[in-house]
Structure 1
């Protein structure tokens, strides 16, 4: 077997009308971030539109759902009314309920599936991409388990039953292939456990499920950025610390939440689009047909095949840079020498690709990531800029899912939060204790306070 880049495949991927293009998403999908501003999700209704789409996909249905005037007319047409007044009242009731769903306001689990995508057709593309990312990362291969969790309680209500009378109810879709890959199995397992824990209290779940979904979406995206930037050092078993501050705290440069929070993430995402293009090219090779392979995957395969295979692939990478990339982009590239390792080859490859990505593409990609932070995790740090933060409601949700017994030790709570991608410095931990104590969720075993416990919230 030869261990080379597949130039024929790559040529078909990169050339459009004879011109080199920095495309992505052929054999590898990395992040659900659009590079066209109109397609960026604006989250006008929070994360509920994405939540509704995910649940429809779990139930084997299309991610789209109709909640417009046509549905109302269809339902009215199929009903019988005593008089015009009762018909008018029913129409008014239906319109109010449909508007509530459009705004993401639900009162039962069964209504979650009826939350529609945004009315803006272009923005729907960004929302659908997030739906696929979440589903593929946290649900794929466990869809039946998730379906059982969500259907554990039969809480169907009047408005859901009425809307289901319409023939426009969400249609079944053909089984589609996965777009993204779950790169953090431990995080996926944690999400499933948390969802199972939340469903014990359906009313709490209904009010917080979208908050849980956006939290896990952001953690998965952040960790993908941090670990992909480590090239072959990608660690699927261990999350990298990302520090948050609580909304009501005062930010400071010396706080971990400033140095290892939003500032760190935005530095890491800057120029990240190069990985989207590079990983697709590297994934088009002669020794593997698997999709969504990252640098560490390729290194492992080549290691299994022996040093000669690795050497051949390294030479192939530099040959492509010098014979294809440089002539078609006029970008200077590194050349092969005997001391080049696979890690160095990947770094040289990414550096060359990064030089070719336009500022416009990098900026729009960056802003799409920043938009999620600004909408759901932003604290205005004044001259320090945006600080990654948690509101009290977000904090209580994470505490709630962290406790599966009647109580846990306080020191265990910090470990549980870290399993869910949240690190807090000493000052933030003190604030957490104050909040939990004020809400009567703290319990001391002795007056000394050495052994402190957090009581269950659910």
Structure 2
């Protein structure tokens, strides 16, 4: 077997009317970030529209759900009424209920599944991409497990049962396609355990599911950014620390939340679109047909094949850079040398691609990621800019899912939060203790306070 880039496939991918194009998403999907501003999700209803779409997908229904007047007219037409007055009253009632669902005002899990996507057709594309990302990352391999949770909490009410009569039970076949790959199996398992824990309290689950889902979406995206930038050093098992500040705390440059929070993530996002293009090209090779291969996957396959296979692929990368990429773009590229390692080849490859990505794409691409931060995790730090933060509601939700027994030791709580992608410095931890103590969730084993416990919030 030869271990080379497949130039024929790559030529079809990069050529558009004879010109080189920096495309993505042929065989590899990296992040659910649109490059066009109109398609960016604005989160008018918080994250509930995404949650509703995911629930429908789990229930094998179309991610789209209509709340138009046509639906109401069809329901009314099928109904039987004593007189015109009762028909009019029911029509008004139905419209009011649908309006509340459209605005994301729900009290049950079943109602969550009725929240529609945005009315803006362009922005809907961004929401659907987030639904696909979340579903493929956290749910696809756990559909039966999640369906069991939903079935055990069948809290349907009259309005949702009526609306469900007008909803197709068959999902669009396109929705069954796998787009993204779960690169953090432990994080996926943690989400499922947290969901099962929340399900012990149905009302808490309905009120906090969207909050839990946006948290895990953001953590998965953040870790994907940090780990992809490590190229072959991608670590699937160990999350990289990302620090948060509590919403009511004062930001400062010396705080870890400034240095290793939003500032770090946005720094890692600079030029990241190059990975979207590069991974598609590198995945088009003669030794693997797998989709969604990252640098560490290619490294693993080549290591199994032996040093000669790795050397052949390294040469192929540099040959393509000089004979194809340089010729088509006139961008200066690194030349092959015998001491080049696979890591160095990937690094040189990325740097060459980065030089070709337009400033426009590089500036638009991170905006959707920043939109999630601004909507759900932003604290205005004055001259320090945006600081990653947690509200009290977000904090209590994370504390709630972290405790599966009657209580846990305080020091264990910090480890549980880190398993869920949240790191806090010493000052923030003190604030957490103050909040939990104020809400009567803290328990001391002795007057000395040496052993402190946190009670079960659920």
The TM-score with structure 2 as length reference comes to 0.99
Q: Secondary structure at the match of 1:151?
A: helix
Structure-2 residue corresponding to 1:172: 171
Equivalence map 1:324-343=2 (5 Å):
324-343=324-343
Q: Secondary structure at the match of 1:114?
A: coil
Is the 2:243–2:261 contact (alpha carbons within 8 Å) kept by the matching residues of 1? yes
Structure-2 residue corresponding to 1:95: 95
Q: Secondary structure at the match of 2:333?
A: coil
Matched, 1:258 2:258: yes
Q: Secondary structure at the match of 1:140?
A: helix
Q: Distance between the aligned counterparts of 1:127 and 1:371, measured in 2? A: 12
Give ranges in structure 1 of 5+ residues lacking alignment: none
Structure-2 residue corresponding to 1:80: 80
Matched, 1:129 2:120: no
**Could you report, residue by residue, the CA deviation over 1:168-212 in whole angstroms, capped at 9, with x for unpaired residues?**
445433362210000000000000000000011110111110000
Matched, 1:295 2:295: yes
Q: Secondary structure at the match of 1:309?
A: helix
Structure-2 residue corresponding to 1:214: 214
Runs of 4+ in 1 over 4 A off after TM superposition: none
Structure-1 residue corresponding to 2:450: 450
Q: Distance between the aligned counterparts of 2:141 and 2:165, measured in 1? A: 31
**Could you report, residue by residue, the CA deviation over 1:125-145 in whole angstroms, capped at 9, with x for unpaired residues?**
000000000000000111111
**Could you report, residue by residue, the CA deviation over 1:253-279 in whole angstroms, capped at 9, with x for unpaired residues?**
000000000000000011100000000
Is the 2:62–2:168 contact (alpha carbons within 8 Å) kept by the matching residues of 1? no
Matched, 1:25 2:31: no
Is the 1:379–1:387 contact (alpha carbons within 8 Å) kept by the matching residues of 2? yes
How much does 1:431 deviate?
0.2
Structure-2 residue corresponding to 1:120: 120
Structure-1 residue corresponding to 2:386: 386
Q: Which segment drifts farther, 229-238 or 75-84?
A: 75-84
Equivalence map 1:189-208=2 (5 Å):
189-208=189-208
Q: Secondary structure at the match of 2:309?
A: helix
Is the 1:22–1:277 contact (alpha carbons within 8 Å) kept by the matching residues of 2? yes
Structure-2 residue corresponding to 1:148: 148
| Aligned-residue RMSD, C-alpha | 0.8
Q: Secondary structure at the match of 1:379?
A: strand
Q: Distance between the aligned counterparts of 1:222 and 1:301, measured in 2? A: 26
Is the 1:65–1:170 contact (alpha carbons within 8 Å) kept by the matching residues of 2? no
Structure-1 residue corresponding to 2:411: 411
Equivalence map 1:283-362=2 (5 Å):
283-362=283-362
Q: Secondary structure at the match of 2:434?
A: helix
Task: Say how many residue pairs are matched.
Answer: 457
**Could you report, residue by residue, the CA deviation over 1:219-250 in whole angstroms, capped at 9, with x for unpaired residues?**
00000000000011000000000000000000
Q: Which segment drifts farther, 97-106 or 232-241?
A: 97-106
Q: Which segment drifts farther, 429-438 or 173-182?
A: 173-182
Q: Distance between the aligned counterparts of 1:220 and 1:18, measured in 2? A: 37
Given the superposition, is the C-alpha separation of residues 382 and 265 from structure 1 closer, same or farther in structure 2, using an over 3 Å criterion? same
Q: Distance between the aligned counterparts of 1:26 and 1:278, measured in 2? A: 11
**Could you report, residue by residue, the CA deviation over 1:8-63 in whole angstroms, capped at 9, with x for unpaired residues?**
00000000111100000011000000000000000011000100111111111111
Q: Distance between the aligned counterparts of 1:352 and 1:170, measured in 2? A: 48
Q: Distance between the aligned counterparts of 1:437 and 1:22, measured in 2? A: 54
Q: Distance between the aligned counterparts of 2:369 and 2:331, measured in 1? A: 28
Structure-2 residue corresponding to 1:159: 159
The TM-score with structure 1 as length reference comes to 0.99
Give ranges in structure 2 of 5+ residues lacking alignment: none
Is the 2:225–2:268 contact (alpha carbons within 8 Å) kept by the matching residues of 1? yes
Q: Secondary structure at the match of 1:387?
A: strand
Is the 1:66–1:170 contact (alpha carbons within 8 Å) kept by the matching residues of 2? no
Q: Distance between the aligned counterparts of 2:124 and 2:254, measured in 1? A: 40
Q: Distance between the aligned counterparts of 2:108 and 2:213, measured in 1? A: 17
Q: Distance between the aligned counterparts of 1:165 and 1:300, measured in 2? A: 50
Q: Distance between the aligned counterparts of 1:277 and 1:105, measured in 2? A: 40
Structure-1 residue corresponding to 2:61: 61
Structure-1 residue corresponding to 2:373: 373
Matched, 1:227 2:227: yes
**Could you report, residue by residue, the CA deviation over 1:69-102 in whole angstroms, capped at 9, with x for unpaired residues?**
0110000000111122111111111111111111
